[in-house]
Amino acid sequence: MLLIINRNAIDSDINIIKDKIINLGLEIYENKGFNYHIIGVVGDKNNIDSVEFNKYKAVEKVVLIQEPYMKANRLFHPENTEIKVNDKIIGSKKINIIAGPCSVESEEQVVSIAKSVKKSGASFLRGGAFKPRSSPYSFQGLGIEGLKLLKYAGKLTGLPIVSELTSIKFLDDFVDNVDVIQVGARNMQNFELLKELGKTKTPILLKRGLSSTIEDLLMSAEYILSEGNENVILCERGIRTFEDYTRNTLDLSAIPIIKKLSHLPIIVDPSHGTGLWWLVEPMALAAIAAGADGLMIEVHNNPDEAMSDGGQSMLPEKFQHLMNNLKPISNAVDKEI
Amino acid sequence: MLLIINRNAIDSDINIIKDKIINLGLEIYENKGFNYHIIGVVGDKNNIDSVEFNKYKAVEKVVLIQEPYMKANRLFHPENTEIKVNDKIIGSKKINIIAGPCSVESEEQVVSIAKSVKKSGASFLRGGAFKPRSSPYSFQGLGIEGLKLLKYAGKLTGLPIVSELTSIKFLDDFVDNVDVIQVGARNMQNFELLKELGKTKTPILLKRGLSSTIEDLLMSAEYILSEGNENVILCERGIRTFEDYTRNTLDLSAIPIIKKLSHLPIIVDPSHGTGLWWLVEPMALAAIAAGADGLMIEVHNNPDEAMSDGGQSMLPEKFQHLMNNLKPISNAVDKEI
Amino acid sequence: MLLIINRNAIDSDINIIKDKIINLGLEIYENKGFNYHIIGVVGDKNNIDSVEFNKYKAVEKVVLIQEPYMKANRLFHPENTEIKVNDKIIGSKKINIIAGPCSVESEEQVVSIAKSVKKSGASFLRGGAFKPRSSPYSFQGLGIEGLKLLKYAGKLTGLPIVSELTSIKFLDDFVDNVDVIQVGARNMQNFELLKELGKTKTPILLKRGLSSTIEDLLMSAEYILSEGNENVILCERGIRTFEDYTRNTLDLSAIPIIKKLSHLPIIVDPSHGTGLWWLVEPMALAAIAAGADGLMIEVHNNPDEAMSDGGQSMLPEKFQHLMNNLKPISNAVDKEI
Amino acid sequence: MLLIINRNAIDSDINIIKDKIINLGLEIYENKGFNYHIIGVVGDKNNIDSVEFNKYKAVEKVVLIQEPYMKANRLFHPENTEIKVNDKIIGSKKINIIAGPCSVESEEQVVSIAKSVKKSGASFLRGGAFKPRSSPYSFQGLGIEGLKLLKYAGKLTGLPIVSELTSIKFLDDFVDNVDVIQVGARNMQNFELLKELGKTKTPILLKRGLSSTIEDLLMSAEYILSEGNENVILCERGIRTFEDYTRNTLDLSAIPIIKKLSHLPIIVDPSHGTGLWWLVEPMALAAIAAGADGLMIEVHNNPDEAMSDGGQSMLPEKFQHLMNNLKPISNAVDKEI
């Protein structure tokens, strides 16, 4: 960490900072030029809270040299992390596709979709039981009942299941029933939830928040990792920008950046990332071309209601089309699917 | 709600939508021109989930005519809501200033700041006991112990206290000890938390999320209101934009907009909204000029550590200066302080 | 266009609007429900300026049903536009790679890079002669001299050349010397420049502005097209968001969206879109996977200065590596390179 | 400027940078710690182009210590700049209000509005003659004829006039006829235009671009100042964010920030900044409370067409109301109006 000292800072104010650094057991490297003055701070990263230094009168600016996350940092963990879920591995040469309905609605629905996506080549089944909806008047999910239906469909098809946890109230139910616990974009900085998840051993799928930088995402992963759970899968799902044609702006550059900064696997959710079903396939292909370890795709099966052409879910036949086209792209980047 | 029908939609797909509308007990108004076709949907707002219609093949676009929130809507509640907290009222002609430290650190600290801000004219005491920090290695607050110290300082000075709740785990402690429960920006869409808060009677200070629109904020208020708690105070605290000089971009236009759309009181937090102590005074003056019902200001008292010139907290003397300058501005907009 | 009428609008104010519509030679379709009132406006798109209707007291909201661009609209031009430049075609099955230095610096530099990128498979040579720099103290380009050097290198290698025009002052020089005239992101809404370019026959490469929506980009294309120049190539190069790891956030969803909305070819500039040379390859692969018609890549050749590891330009050997990897991706999406 | 050196950089790559610094006539201050290595670069700011250093392999990050603008920098010009326009001064204790129609439409219109705004207390008359419109099919302004009408109305009322220049083609007409030349948000980085304006002596009103940081705005001012024209007035008019209730998000924190960083006057345009006439008054009051030197307000006078309730222009009586309410706010911040 570098402290850029204020041009007009007086010695007594500068000494307060130096005392603080030494009291924290850290070392000082000082550098003073004609029109600048810098204090470098060196020591155990754990002991330095850069925000603390921001507030001193004599400090103009704090410059971080090292990333603020450690356990998520590739620097200290050069090998890719591979996460085992039953017989699947996320983060290896094999691309994993997590597919399923937005919400679990009935046994018939979830079983039918599970069978269909498995046939098309999906390796995980997703389905929402607790739905975080911006309106209290919207359908909030079937709850625990939905979780059981999802588990049943997973068992029937042999697909591990992924579902979103929205409150620590249901933590035990999720640990008992779900193979991968999803943390949604809106809860990415629900730190109390992250800490509790860090105490479990269940793999966590952590989605990037709508206004979160890549560093924010890695810091949230650090919350889980630092409590002892090393099974964290990151997920890019779009950020909020001024462009309103799409629901969010899918930031695919996050894939190679996370691959550089961290050893954790990164997948992409083009369904939420765009909000339009016809954008899911091109963005899915692009995500794999950019190096993603997998995809999360919403699929439903209400052809009799002609649903889906406006929403973000794909019909099973469109999903099959996507899976067919993913194969040559995966091979082109030396992956399997 | 209006459904703009796809130019190429076939009759059978359009009929599916019409059947759905009628099955929901709603009415249809149809309008077909040379190159457009619109279906208006009318009925009890509670029964219409606009998102549900988005997914039909025949629907090009869904246009909402009425706002999706009801209990927070000024249309159905034309009078300003005034929220009583002990002997104070938020939302009236009297401007309320909530001041205090970012975190409660010790009895001495919180008592000293409480006395100081009271003397300067603050009407509420704020203080963090549970701190949502982006790093797991940063100070996370004193927890329940911090809450007790804050309560003690509040009692001593007669100031009602405001503190942030970060998890439903601590809900009872907050209901028992705190006069106003704050929901932070990062939890604005933690819907499970909002629902639980809606079941209490404690006034809630709901902060706008970093990537939340004004409508999102009002929808989150609706979660609390719809469960029965009508004591919701909204708080603008900056949104995330590309401008990086400030920590966030304080959106003061939210004040008159919320005054138009809703009956709920709205206050402003210029400390978090800018992240720089020397911007707090001009932005506080601007907020009151734009019609805010109050302010939330971070104040600390470590003059011996020369803190504050870089951070967002004000020293007590700067806070006194601000309070002095707020008086003529408040009078200029026909308010009292 | 739909006008959503204000709930409390009085008849005389509504009649003013109706008179205005009829005076413009347009037709009215009215629709009034229990709590809504809509006036549909139909007629020649050219005569309707939606912004004009926004200002009436009785109008709550204006909803556009048809896109505001016509000549750029696929609706009126279903076939893809293919743009011929010498012996190359942009917008066909063949992917075109435009490569070259950020700025033309010397004959030796531009010739050497031109030969190198041609050898690797580039089909166009790019090079800046007039550089729009945010600082007046930064190198502003070699000007007309740079243009001549670029033309010379293009002739030598047989590659058509692309360069950015920053002012109408130099329009004739560009028409005379350049094969494709580039309009940079900062000039995307320099409408006077667009109109002048619309009067030429030279193909125009129009870059998306940093804060421009996809619709804004198509409207700027419309300026050129409506003046008679139908040779417009669109270019996605990143938008400005809160994420600061990359220089901009490359919005690859713009590719399939533009393919749907418009018949114009769309290419991607991952060099400016990310600002980091090591992100260029993964983003280039992703762009082609998402359906882009081509790429624009910065390449330089100062290995003796060890340049490039921090900037956005690739060394020739990295560019060769990219070209090798583009081939299987192009084939996977049924394109040639 | 500080160069943070890459952890794994080899000596030969570092030496290339050192040689470059010395060749530029600059000095090196080196600082190497256990896990960091920094090279400080000191010398004449004019000679350092930080972007140039970004590209070296050995450079991890470039940290600017000094702002990249000089002539606009308060550091080198501590006194406020006051800009004289006829008998008015912008940047002094007296607040200036620039008011008038969006577009000049006719002699009757502009004269009538000019008289009206003068009576209400405006000190400048604004009016668009050349309108940058996002659609080529929208009204583009009366051109030179509009300029003449505006000049006539200015003469009649004694108000100096402000109008937007959209192309260097019309530069002489503007220098001859206009008291203050406005550069619109879309041309803020039209550097060729800025350079030409820098060669005149006419005061320039420079609007912040939709995606421009405060530093970008000051760099654009630097373009004008560095060519010799010191009469630059800055204007905050909103930035583009995800919030879509308003046309833009007015960033009032830009006022005190610019007051700190620069000596140039700063005014605010709440009409374009919000896009809604009923937000103009509260935002205008807030801008003055935050320290703005003036305001730019759109006023029109078509009461017979009931215009203005939806758009961003105020009716004369609303403008009079605003002017009445500005007085106590101005006095509260120790200014006159």
pLDDT at B310 over 50: no
ipTM for the assembly: 0.91
| Residues of chain B contacting D244 with CB distance shorter than 8 Å | 213
Q: How far is B181 from chain D (nearest CA, A)?
A: 26
| Residues of chain C contacting D56 with CB distance shorter than 8 Å | 305-307, 309-310
Give residue B121's pLDDT. 98
Q: Which residues pair with D94 in a beta bridge?
A: D336
Best residue in C252, C255, C258 to probe A by mutation, most A CBs within 10 Å? C252
DSSP D201-250: -S-EEEEPPTT--HHHHHHHHHHHHHTT---EEEEE--B--S--SSSSB-
**Residue B31's closest CA among C32, C50, C18?**
C32
Chain pair C-D, CB pairs under 8 angstroms: 156
pLDDT at B320 over 70: yes
- Cβ contact A242–C239 (<8 Å): yes
- Weakest mean pLDDT among B88-97, B289-298, C311-320, D90-99: C311-320
pLDDT-derived band of residue D49, with 50, 70 and 90 as boundaries?
A: low
- Cβ contact D136–C223 (<8 Å): yes
CB contact at 8 A, C288 and C333: yes
Q: Tell me which DSSP letter residue D101 carries.
A: -
pLDDT-derived band of residue A331, with 50, 70 and 90 as boundaries?
A: very high
- Cβ contact C31–B34 (<8 Å): no
Does B77 or D124 have the greater pLDDT score? D124
CB proximity B214 to D under 8 Å = yes
Contacts of C23 (CB under 8 A, 6+ apart): none
Structure tokens at D263: 């000596």
CB proximity C67 to A under 8 Å = no
CB proximity C245 to B under 8 Å = no
CB proximity A139 to B under 8 Å = yes
Q: Which residues pair with D205 in a beta bridge?
A: D182, D233
**Helix D254-261 vs helix D214-226: crossing angle, to nearest 10:** 40
pLDDT at B278 over 80: yes
pLDDT at D326 over 70: yes
Hunting for tokens 């793999």 — which residue is that?
A203
Give residue C1's pLDDT. 78
Give D121-146 pLDDT, tens digit per residue. 999 999 999 988 888 887 788 999 99
pLDDT at B276 over 60: yes
Give residue B48's pLDDT. 63
Contacts of D97 (CB under 8 A, 6+ apart): D117, D121, D122, D123, D124, D294, D295, D297, D323, D326, D337
Distance, CA of C135 to CA of D49 (rounded, Å): 9
- Mean pLDDT score, A55-60: 80
Using DSSP, state whether C251 is helix, strand or coil: coil
pLDDT at B46 over 80: no
The mean pLDDT of chain A is: 91
- Cβ contact C286–A286 (<8 Å): yes
**Residue A152's closest CA among A183, A197, A106?**
A106
Q: Write the residue in C59, C62, C190 that is nearest to D187 by C-beta.
A: C190
Q: Write the residue in B29, B35, B63 that is nearest to C66 by C-beta.
A: B35
Tell me the residue ranges of DSSP E strands in A45-137.
59-63, 83-85, 88-90, 96-100, 124-126
Hunting for tokens 């519509």 — which residue is that?
C21
Question: What percentage of residues in chain D have a pLDDT greater than 90?
Answer: 70
Give C180-200 pLDDT, tens digit per residue. 999 999 999 999 999 999 999
Does B253 or C277 have the greater pLDDT score? B253
Q: Write the residue in B132, B191, B226 that is nearest to A132 by C-beta.
A: B191
- Cβ contact C54–D219 (<8 Å): no
| Residues of chain D contacting C240 with CB distance shorter than 8 Å | 211, 240
Give residue B41's pLDDT. 79
CB contact at 8 A, B231 and B46: no
Give residue A22's pLDDT. 84
CB proximity D64 to A under 8 Å = no
pLDDT-derived band of residue C211, with 50, 70 and 90 as boundaries?
A: very high
Q: Which amino acid is at A232?
A: V
Which residue from B minimizes the CA distance to D244? B213
CB contact at 8 A, C189 and C167: no
Question: Which chains lie within 8 Å of chain D at 3 or more CB pairs, if any?
Answer: A, B, C
| Residues of chain B contacting C242 with CB distance shorter than 8 Å | 240-242
The mean pLDDT of chain C is: 91
pLDDT at A303 over 60: no
DSSP C132-179: --SSTTS----THHHHHHHHHHHHHHT--EEEE---GGGHHHHHHH-S
Distance, CA of A178 to CA of B52 (rounded, Å): 27
Hunting for tokens 């749907």 — which residue is that?
C260
Which residue from B minimizes the CA distance to A308? B55
CB proximity B244 to C under 8 Å = yes
Give residue C49's pLDDT. 67
Chain pair A-B, CB pairs under 8 angstroms: 157
Give residue A75's pLDDT. 85
- Weakest mean pLDDT among A3-12, B59-68, C192-201: B59-68
Indicate the Cα dihedral angle A72, A75, A80, A85, nearest 10°: -20
- Cβ contact D66–A35 (<8 Å): yes
pLDDT-derived band of residue B1, with 50, 70 and 90 as boundaries?
A: confident
Give residue C28's pLDDT. 81
Give A211-268 pLDDT, tens digit per residue. 999 999 999 999 999 999 999 999 999 999 999 999 999 999 999 999 999 999 999 9
The mean pLDDT of chain B is: 91
- Weakest mean pLDDT among A47-61, B150-164, B256-270, C88-102: A47-61
Distance, CA of C53 to CA of D83 (rounded, Å): 38
Q: How far is C287 from chain A (nearest CA, A)?
A: 6
Give residue A140's pLDDT. 85
| Residues of chain A contacting B226 with CB distance shorter than 8 Å | 136-137
Give B149-185 pLDDT, tens digit per residue. 999 999 999 999 999 999 999 999 999 999 999 999 9
Give residue C35's pLDDT. 65
pLDDT at C66 over 80: no
Give D148-164 pLDDT, tens digit per residue. 999 999 999 999 999 99
Q: Write the residue in D241, D285, D332 that is nearest to B239 by C-beta.
A: D241
Give residue B45's pLDDT. 57
Q: How far is A56 from chain D (nearest CA, A)?
A: 17
- Cβ contact D136–C195 (<8 Å): yes
Which residue from C minimizes the CA distance to D210? C211
CB proximity A65 to D under 8 Å = yes
pLDDT at A204 over 50: yes
The mean pLDDT of chain D is: 91
Distance, CA of D54 to CA of D52 (rounded, Å): 6
CB proximity B66 to C under 8 Å = yes
**Residue B78's closest CA among B305, B261, B277, B336?**
B261
pLDDT-derived band of residue C307, with 50, 70 and 90 as boundaries?
A: very low
Give B178-233 pLDDT, tens digit per residue. 999 999 999 999 999 999 999 999 999 999 999 999 999 999 999 999 999 999 99
Which residue from D minimizes the CA distance to C183? D190
**Residue C274's closest CA among C285, C258, C264?**
C285
H/E run at residue D195: helix D191-198
Q: Specify the pTM.
A: 0.93
Q: Write the residue in A40, A60, A242 that is nearest to D31 by C-beta.
A: A40
- Cβ contact A309–B57 (<8 Å): yes
Does C12 or A305 have the greater pLDDT score? C12
Give residue C308's pLDDT. 40
pLDDT-derived band of residue B51, with 50, 70 and 90 as boundaries?
A: low
Q: How far is A9 from chain C (nearest CA, A)?
A: 29
Does D235 or C9 have the greater pLDDT score? D235
- Mean pLDDT score, C87-112: 95
Q: Which amino acid is at D83?
A: I
Question: Which chains lie within 8 Å of chain B at 3 or more CB pairs, if any?
Answer: A, C, D
Q: Write the residue in B241, B278, B290 that is nearest to D282 by C-beta.
A: B290
Using DSSP, state whether C104 is helix, strand or coil: coil
| Residues of chain A contacting D42 with CB distance shorter than 8 Å | 33-36
- Cβ contact A241–C257 (<8 Å): no
Phi, psi of A124 (to 5 degrees): -135, 155
pLDDT-derived band of residue C48, with 50, 70 and 90 as boundaries?
A: low
CB proximity B158 to D under 8 Å = no
D309-337 exposure pattern, b = at least 16 Cβ within 10 A, e = fewer: bbbbbbbbebbbebbebbbbbbebbebeb
Q: In what order do the strands lie in the sheet with B2-5?
A: B27-32, B37-42, B2-5, B59-63
Which residue from D minimizes the CA distance to A75? D7
- Weakest mean pLDDT among B134-143, B235-244, C215-224: B134-143
Q: Write the residue in D4, D33, D42 that is nearest to A29 by C-beta.
A: D33
Q: Write the residue in A251, A274, A279 that is nearest to C249 by C-beta.
A: A251
Distance, CA of D270 to CA of D285 (rounded, Å): 10
Give D14-44 pLDDT, tens digit per residue. 888 888 888 877 878 777 766 678 887 876 6
pLDDT at D60 over 90: no
Pairing of strands D124-126, D96-100: parallel
CB proximity B243 to D under 8 Å = yes
- Mean pLDDT score, D318-323: 97
Burial class (CB in 10 A: 0-12, 13-18, 19+), B35: exposed
- Give the count of beta carbons closer than 10 Å to the beta carbon of residue C260: 11
Q: Write the residue in B16, B191, B227 that is nearest to A305 by C-beta.
A: B16
- Cβ contact C134–D211 (<8 Å): no
- Cβ contact A54–B209 (<8 Å): no
Give residue D20's pLDDT. 84
Burial class (CB in 10 A: 0-12, 13-18, 19+), C74: middle
DSSP D245-312: SSSSB--TTHHHHHHHHBSS-EEE-HHHHHS-HHHHHHHHHHHHHTT-SEEEEEB---GGGTBTSSSS
Distance, CA of C237 to CA of C233 (rounded, Å): 13
| Residues of chain D contacting A241 with CB distance shorter than 8 Å | 242
- Cβ contact A58–B306 (<8 Å): yes
